[in-house]
Amino acid sequence: MVIEHAMLIIKEELVEEFIPTINEVFPILSSSEGYLSHKLIRNKDNRTHFILVVHWNSLEDHLDGFVGSAKFKKWDSMLRSFFDGYPKVLHYTEL
């Protein structure tokens, strides 16, 4: 299993619109091959900072299966305008 950790910084004027929009597009993510689960976490000190944690079967499921797919293009097109800079994405494995 691979854990994707994406730091999302949202434009301040779009934060309230971002939350319902990302919830609307989560089915795109969850219907992807190799997807296991996800969690969206909001920073208590800075309301524009979020962490998206996604569990994938493998790194390939995330990078090749999702990021390389038409589903990702739709996901990205619906969310890109909210981001204040491109999300920083890291991958982890449990020990």
| Domain boundaries defined on the chain | 2-92
Provide the b/e sequence for 60-90 (b: ≥16 CB within 10 Å).
Answer: ebbbebbbeeebbeebeeebeebeeeebeee
Class of domain 2-92: alpha beta
pLDDT at 66: 95
**pTM of the full structure:** 0.94
Check residue 30 and give its pLDDT. 96
CB atoms within 10 A of CB 40: 15
Tell me what pLDDT residue 62 has.
95
Residue type, 64: D
From 48, 67, 49, select the one nearest 4 (Cα to Cα): 67
The model's pLDDT over 24-72, given as tens digits with 9 standing for 90+, comes to: 999 999 999 999 999 999 999 999 999 999 999 999 999 999 999 999 9
The pLDDT of residue 84 is 97
Q: Which residues contact 56 (CB under 8 A, 6 or more apart)?
A: 1, 2, 3, 4, 34, 35, 36, 62, 66
